[in-house]
Amino acid sequence: MLLLASVGLFIPNVVYASPLAMQQVADGIYVHRGAHEDLDEGYHGDICNISFVIGENGIAVIDTGGSIKVGQQLLESIRAISSLPILYVINTHVHPDHIFGNAAFVSAQTQFVGHERLAEAMDKRQDSYMRINQQWLKQDFAGSRMVKPSIAVKNKLQIDLGKRVLTLTAHPTAHTNTDLTVFDEKTASLWTGDLLFIERTPSIDGDIKGWIKVNEALLQSPAKQVISGHGQLSAQQTWQQAMQLQQQYLTTLLQEVRASISKGITMEKAMNSAAISQKGAWQLFDIINRRNVNNIYPALEWE
């Protein structure tokens, strides 16, 4: 395990956007909750949860939103709270709603951190992500670009913000093949990225069987609180209950798509029936669940 520590002079970033609404969820930890919108026309680039953590020497940002505009708004929010240097920008995975705000944080003292496969995944998806996001976001996407990690996490990596150590863990293919979690030792807070969805229907862009397995391991975490990639716990809900609810959806979907294949039910029909019992628990279900069936059906045919 590698421990990184950084102390440097603060070189202020240029900010000129209205700040995002932030919620302080623990000592030195601030979260902005994204809206539950689909990635299509009407998407505004602000649908995932984005955060920052303050140590004695500097700040780590965890995900940056879907455009440079959202990243600039996040930067404005940070500067309203702290003038410490932003030492690290951590991306939890490759999806565009989490990474395109990176461009707002490019500076001499900021290092970008991601899964060891993140840079390759960015290369493969860059053209399509740029084209589609320009179509969706129009002028709000102007100036956005992919900023690749300068630090790649293979297994585990620790970064020190000054009396505040964050442990980063790279996971096998699950939600995507670039999933990274972050654990703050000081407050026992865990950032799951999109390994955990709350309220919003989980979307599969990796391996559903791998995701179920990774979540089983995450349920053993000593975390006292979790910051998910999307959504927010209800007052009566623990993060473990939220994870179990997601596991129920994923396992039901897996079982019912397998059953459809064994019965000779076409993918088109399975898209309308698989996991339909889970619909009441999730937002955007009709849209995202169909995509999930479309993604996993071909792979499961070869089991």
Percent of the chain, pLDDT > 70? Answer: 94
For 36-51, what is each residue's pLDDT tens digit?
A: 998 776 788 999 999 9
Segment 81-92 shows an average pLDDT of: 99
More confident residue, 234 or 18: 234
The one-letter amino acid code at 61 reads: V
> How many domains in the chain?
1
Q: Say if 246 falls within a structural domain.
A: no
Q: Say if 294 falls within a structural domain.
A: no
Q: Say if 276 falls within a structural domain.
A: no
Q: Say if 255 falls within a structural domain.
A: no
For 130-180, what is each residue's pLDDT tens digit?
A: 999 999 999 989 999 999 999 999 999 999 999 999 999 999 999 999 999
As a whole number of angstroms, the distance between CA 102 and CA 248 comes to: 34
Q: Say if 269 falls within a structural domain.
A: no
10, pLDDT greater than 60: no
List the CATH number of the domain containing 23. 3.60.15.10
Pairing of strands 29-32, 50-54: antiparallel
Q: Say if 22 falls within a structural domain.
A: yes
Q: Do residues 244 and 216 lie in contact, with contact meaning Cβ atoms separated by under 8 Å?
A: no
Q: Say if 104 falls within a structural domain.
A: yes
Range of the domain at 134: 2-233
Q: Taking Cα atoms as reference points, which of 171, 175, 44 lies closest to residue 97?
A: 44
Please give the structure tokens belonging to residue 48: 């995932």
What is the pTM for the complete model shown?
0.93
Q: Say if 90 falls within a structural domain.
A: yes
pLDDT class of 266 with cuts at 50, 70, 90: very high
